[in-house]
Every structure is written in C-alpha cells, then in structure tokens.
Structure 1
Amino acid sequence: MADFIINTDDNVYIPAEDSYLLADNLEIEKGQSVLEIGTGSGVVAMYASRLTDRITVTDINFDACGLARKNFEENNIENIEILFGNLFEPVKNRKFDVILFNTPYLPTEEGEVLEDTINYAFDGGINGRKVIDMFLNEVGNHLNDGGTVQLIQSSLSGNDETLTRLDELGFIAEIKASEHFFFEDITLINAYKI
C-alpha cells in the first residue's frame, strides 16, 4: 500500500495499521473539502489528495506539521494546507464536507504520560476518551450539512459511547470497518450529518 515516500520522526506517530485502516476506507468525492485533525506524518492526507484537491490538515505537534510538509513536498503534493494547533482551533470559522481523525485513543494512566510531543498521538486520558469527547463536542460546528466524519478509535475507548454520542448529536453513525489486535479492536466509525 505504501506507494508514497514516507519519512518518519521519533517525535511523530509512525503510520501503523490504524492509519491505513482509515486511508483504505476514505469516503471522499472529487471537489469535496476535507479536514484531517492530527495529521501526524501526513499519510492519510496524501491518500485523500488522490480523491480531492481541497485538503486542510491540523496537528497539535509542531514536529508533525514539519514532517507532513516534508512528506507532501517529497511526493509532489501541493494541494494540502497545513495548520498548527489543537483540534479545531486553527479552523475556527470554517466548515468542511469530510472530517478525518485517527484519534489518540489509548487509555493512559498518569504514570504512562510521556514528556515528548509523541504523547499527543496516543494519550486518550484515563478512559481513552479525553480527546475523542472534545472532538465530538465540536465536530458538528465544522461540518457542512450532508457531511461525513470518519474517525479511528479502539474498543478500549468505548465504541458504543461514541456511536451513542454521535446519535445524540444528530448523526447517523456506524462502525464501517475494524481490525482485531491482541487485546482490542481498532475501529473506523463513519458518521453522516443529516
């Protein structure tokens, strides 16, 4: 699958099964505007760039923004806007047709928190939902009517809780794909704004 040049950095999440679960199942139509939260190395956005030319990515990790820029340049991808910041802060008053997010979904105890910026990539707080819930609370404000949200999370961070919350927010949501690993399922949840 990796037919892009993908540089990595010790401070940035290295693309793994969850990245490709999202990249393999993108639901993006030509001309749609796309926002990817937490782009990391930029690999998902690179696959999205084959489907549309209106892409914005954000990351709270400054190293990730730099690495994504390098990866886009080395793959001659020029249609992706890179913004530094947490979740939707960099796109305050903007709306998109598709929003993508490979969430930091690992339940993380206080003693497991790392001092490095790589911590942003996986630290989901005690129950794995710290960032997921912040994302869900805001996502509807940044999605056009009829838009789609695609997010990756783990069964350890409460799939049913996410589906219920999306339902309460007026979305039609479903688990679109999943992969089983040792002690968890990594799931792709698709939600459609009615």
Structure 2
Amino acid sequence: QGPIFVQNPDGTITEGVPAGLAGPPKPHRGRALGLGLGAAGDADSSSSRAASEPPAVSLQEEVDYMYTCHERIMLLLLLAQLSFEALYVLEYVLRIKDGTSAVELTAMYARLNPHPTLVTTILWGILTLEVVYGAVYYALAGQALWTKRSSSFKALANAGVVGIVGLALLAYVDKFNLIIFFAHLLSYLYARLHEDAAALRTGSCRG
C-alpha cells in the first residue's frame, strides 16, 4: 500500500503515510561528508607523498653528474702529476750524469764510505724502478678512467699506496719530492672516491 494524498480545505495537498509503511532511509549527511573528506585527505596525502619522493631518474642524473665532474678533476690531477714526474725524472737523469746525485748520496753515508760506482748503480736502479712503476700506475689510471669500474679504481688506489710508500722511502737516497708526494696522495683519495662512486652508480643503474 502506497502513500495517500489528502486535499486540505485551503486547497493544499498533504501526503499521508499509513501506519507500518516506512520510507527509504535518508543518508546521514555528516557521515557522508566525513567519508568524502577522508577520501580527499587520503588522496592529498598520497599525492604529497608521491611528490616528496624523488624519482629514480632524477637520482640517476645526480649520480651521473657528480661522477662526471669528479672524473674530469681526477683526469686533470693525473695529467698534472704526470707532468711533475716527467720533470722529476729529467732532473734525476741530469743530476746522475753530472755526478751531483752521487756526490750528495756519498756525503749522506760518509761513514759507510760507499764507492762512487756503486752509488751511481744504485741511483740508476732506483730510477728504473720508478719508471716501471710509473708505467704500470698510469696504465691502471687509464684503464680505470676508460672502464669506469669500481674494481679498476680499487686497483689504482692500491697502486697509489705503493707509490706513496715508495716516495717516502726515497728520502733515504735524497730523492724525496714533496709536490709529487702530495699529488700521489690526492690521486689516491680520488681513486677511493671514484671506487665508491662507481659502485653507487652501478647500483643505481641496476635499480
């Protein structure tokens, strides 16, 4: 049985609902509004979290940019170091040929009274070791800068440690050079930095 419409004496019409007939439940406006606000809040929070999280592409670009800048600095450092060592070797050879190095080394170990020929032979042997080490060191440096692998920079850093120790030992034959020593030290630090950066870059690419 549906609702009944009754006309009042003044002409207006009124709806009459029989007993036992319940109309459709009206939605609770406050609850609906709350649900709407909750959904909107969740959407806003999700969008804000998405905006705050850096995309993987941006992180990869930052890593590549940092790596490229440090790579150029290391290349310039190695070129400067190579120039210093070339001048050092040239002076080393000239001082051996004119006998200055032998005289100075003999004066350092005057108590041992070394023979000049023996002193000259020792100096030439040390120079040969330096040249061989330099060839290996710069070959490793070229390989590291070319391949950009973490293992290559690790090998370069280990070779740098050998060079630093060797330069310190040259003080016993009066051939220590402070500029080359600090250049090797900086190259070692940059090799370690590139080792970590290359590992991070590889991890970012894989991710």
Same fold (TM over 0.5): no
Larger Rg computed on CA atoms: 2
Q: TM-score, normalised by structure 2?
A: 0.23
Whichever structure has more helix as a proportion of its residues is: 2
Higher strand share: 1
TM-score by length of 1: 0.24
